[in-house]
Amino acid sequence: MKQELQIIGFDNSGKGTEPFYSFNPATQINNGYSFLNATNDEINQAVAKAASAFQVYRKKSGMEKTAFLTAIAEGILTTGDELVTVCCDETGLPPARIEGERMRTVNQLKMFAALLTEGSWVDARIDTAIPDRAPVPKPDLRFMQIPLGPVVVFGASNFPLAFSVAGGDTASALAAGCPVVVKAHPAHPATSAIIGKIIQTAAQNTNMPDGVFSLLFDNGIEAGVRLVKHPLIKAVAFTGSYKAGKALYDAAVSRPEPIPMYAEMGSTNPVFVLPQVMKLRGAEIAAGYAAAVTLGIGQFCTNPGIMVYQNNDEDFKLSLQLAFEKTSGGVMLTPNILSAYNSNLQKHLAIPGVEHFASSSLKTVDATNNAVPVLLSAESSVFNSESILSEEIFGPASMVIPVATKKDMLDIAENLSGHLTATVHGTEEELIEYKELLDILEQKAGRVIINGFPTGVEVCSAMVHGGPFPATTDSKTTSVGTKAIDRFTRPVCYQNMPQSLLPAELKNENSLHISRLINGERTNKNIG
């Protein structure tokens, strides 16, 4: 049994007395790694170090932070196959998926490194003085985004790399100039330890301050809540369930000093299929939908959980059934997640009017903790009257809702709560005819997808992986893409600050060659 320790800045610590272990979810075999729940002292040490490191780290240049993020990316890229093996053992996910997720994680870090190297993300704004303005002189005012302070990041169960220790939340917080204390997800602690050590080494090798990164383990909720409530913590990022996310949000906003808490809590990601396109491409859409529902054993935040289609076309129904029967089940991330999946399915099926529509006929017989993909169906009247049917079933389940008219479809859309995504399949002609549907959906979701599926979340400047509550606790943000950095900054304005004391981003000489708004004009030029 290998004993893994808390990572507290450049130190390691093992003061806890309550051990827990890394398990294989399929076999329930202990993977040979032991962890300790972080003690209050360890939590306080990690946060105190983060606060102290902040005073140094916040002044690091874009190029210095680029070096740090790049070193983390390189470390993850070159750490070898152990990462994949350990991660597969802990999560039940297949190696190809973990390899893909590793590249995604590396690319996220590199994206933020590139953003820092370019430098314009600070949103520099300069209004120069007008000393002879009447009735009062106009002062010199210079504005930029600065980091908030130490950030707590919660690792997510469903993306052990891309939304965990070195995932998008950590990458964007570090890019912003905020030290990060990660609470590892107990479903993949050994993976978390590997990545944590890579970040610790990268911080040392690139001359970052002790405390810029810490990684704490806890098998329960206590360490997480304590971190969120710690007065030196200035923001929180989380990906996970509504229940956990909302509880942490409530803790964050009821602190003596409330702090921003960015919880991405998933959604059912509704898909609407319009009548013309169903006739033209029904089988293709059915196959795409079945694949999207079951991708990653339905454990993505963006798997679609509802499909609404107009015209009760028998061919389309048959295509859906056939496509769903061909899907594979698979090992879920933890026994608890599987049991919640099965019990949520039963709750939905127990509602009068909810029918079993199709199931996977391909079951992986040699694995335990295996989820079977299931497609349910319900009339829109049933769906509209039972609010529980709008709640996400985390796993490879979905519900199809045939509707008779455009109005029925609009009614369902109108009654949706907030979602990460909303998708419409339609010919261009009928999309124009259903413009009203699109107008509704853009008010319900962070991303509106046409003729595709929501499960791919591109890492780029234009991505929004967010959306209105209850998909997230802050619809104004995204947890994927470059905009994610804004979660960890606030603007500051310097009035009549001497050139020698201004940050490089705001001096007259634009030595960083960034894009700035100077007296209302966007330019890369120097002043004067």
Per-residue contact flags (x/-) with its own copies for residues 128 to 157, judged by CB under 8 A: -------xx-xx-xxx--x-xx--------
CB of 38 to its own copies, least distance (A): 27
Amino acid at 187: A
| Selection from 22, 165, 166 nearest residue 91 by Cα | 22
**Cβ(348)–Cβ(386) under 8 Å?**
no
Q: Which of 125, 183, 197, 348 forms a contact with its own copies (CB under 8 A)? A: 125
Nearer to its own copies, 340 or 502 (CB): 502
Tell me: does residue 363 bind its own copies (CB under 8 A): no
**Token pair for 46:** 């990690």
The span from the CA of 155 to the CA of 58, in Å, is 23
Question: Which of the ranges 28-36, 182-190, 356-364, 512-520 carries the binding residues for its own copies, by CB under 8 A?
Answer: 512-520
- Nearest distance from C-beta of residue 506 to its own copies, angstroms: 9
Euclidean distance between CA atoms 183 and 180, whole angstroms: 10
- Span 414-433, contacts to its own copies by CB under 8 A: 417, 428, 431-432
Q: Does 411 bind its own copies (CB under 8 A)?
A: no
What x-and-dash track marks residues 2-41 binding its own copies by CB under 8 A?
----------------------------------------
The H or E element that residue 127 is part of is strand 125-127
In this structure, the dihedral spanned by the alpha carbons of residues 173, 477, 272 and 300, taken in order and rounded to 10 degrees, is 20
The answer to the question of residue 288 lying near its own copies (CB under 8 A) is no
Catalytic position from the list 87, 88, 178, 301: 301
Work out how close the CB of 287 gets to its own copies at its nearest, in angstroms, rounded to a whole number.
16
H helix and E strand count, the chain: 15, 24
If binding is defined by CB under 8 A, does position 55 make contact with its own copies? yes
Instruction: Judge whether 431 and 450 are in contact, CB under 8 Å.
Output: yes
Is 291 a binder of its own copies (CB under 8 A)?
Answer: no
Task: Mark the segment that binds its own copies (CB under 8 A) among 38-46, 124-132, 274-282, 359-367.
Answer: 124-132
307 beta partners: 271, 400
Q: What HEC string does 489-508 produce?
A: EEEEEEECCCHHHCCHHHCC
Q: Which of 392, 388, 412 is nearest to 402 (CA)?
A: 412
Q: According to CB under 8 A, which residues from 431 to 460 bind its own copies? A: 431-432, 435, 438-439, 442-443, 445-452, 456, 458, 460
Q: Which of 90, 264, 392, 430 is catalytic?
A: 264
* Residue closer to its own copies, measured from CB, 84 or 464: 464
Contact between 117 and its own copies (CB under 8 A)?
A: no
In the bound state with its own copies, the residue whose beta carbon lies nearer, of 125 and 348, is 125
Using a 10 angstrom Cβ sphere, with 0-12 exposed, 13-18 middle and 19 or more buried, the burial of residue 358 is: buried
Min dist CB 142 to its own copies, Å, is 6
Decide if 509 contacts 518 (C-beta within 8 A). no
Question: Should residue 500 be labelled a site residue for its own copies when binding is judged by CB under 8 A?
Answer: yes
Task: List the interface residues with its own copies, window 64-103 (CB under 8 A).
Answer: 100
Helix (H) or strand (E) holding 362: none
Nearest to 470 by CA among 250, 169, 267, 305: 267
| CA quadruple 65, 71, 73, 75: dihedral, nearest 10 | -150
Pick from 396, 376, 397, 394: which is nearest to 386 by CA? 376
Q: How many CB atoms lie within 10 A of CB 289?
A: 25
Among 398, 468, 510, 512, which residue sits at the site for its own copies (rule: CB under 8 A)?
Answer: 468
**Is 18 designated active site?**
no
**Does 264 qualify as catalytic in the annotation?**
yes
Binding residues among 311-340 for its own copies as defined by CB under 8 A: none
Nearer to its own copies, 291 or 367 (CB): 291
Report the catalytic residues: 264, 301
